[in-house]
Amino acid sequence: MELILKELMVLRGACVRLLGSFTFLLLAFMMTPIAQSVIVRMQDDLVPQGVALVGLTPFDPFLAQATVAAALAMLLVGPLLLIEVWRYVSPGLYPDERRALGQLLWWGSALFVLGTWFSYAFIIPATFAGLYAFTPAGLQSFFSLRDLVSLVCGMTVATGFLFELPVMMMVLVRIGLLNHSFWGRHWPAAVFP
């Protein structure tokens, strides 16, 4: 029982550090013009020409800024989360398991960042341009500020997690749940859903 309480105290300390870091960064991004500059950058990079960005309610600018601040805070707390996981798990692992976990965390982080960049640079602009191409001539197009921020944050995070698929495939093979031939047989289902 004493060992369980000790482990729970270690986990509690990690959670307090993570939550404290997130709260500090969230407030820092809300109090400085960083979140506003990110929103302006989103507008410049992603909103198609001829589309007006509007705030539909008095809460839209605040909620958009809070969403961006929370996304930035989570992005910066992510490495701290990985460090906390590493600090908690690595003492109980064999050297080869420690090396495998380190590679897993490194590749997972790199693929997540690559996925978010790919989404922001290619998927979101193409999606918005394609959808707004259906606007009839003479009709003024609007884009809600809250919708822009929530769509961009949601799509970048979702694409980042989709880019984690190779890591998950490797883990499933490594733990013996699936083998390499399974992926070879079922690749058409993944490529052509």
User: Which of the four pLDDT bands, split at 50, 70 and 90, describes residue 190?
Assistant: low
The residues near 159 (Cβ < 8 Å, ≥ 6 apart) are 115, 116, 118, 119, 123
d(CA 82, CA 77): 9
User: Which of the four pLDDT bands, split at 50, 70 and 90, describes residue 32?
Assistant: very high
CB 116 within 8 A of CB 71: no
In the predicted model, what is the mean pLDDT of residues 114-126? 95
**25 pLDDT exceeds 90?**
yes
Considering only CA atoms, which of 31, 126, 17 is closest in space to residue 72?
31
State the DSSP H helix or E strand holding residue 106, giving kind and residue range, or none if neither.
Answer: helix 95-118
Within 10 Å of residue 76's Cβ, how many Cβ atoms? 14
**79 alpha carbon, distance to own chain's centre:** 12
In the predicted model, what is the mean pLDDT of residues 159-187? 85
Average pLDDT taken over every residue of the chain: 89
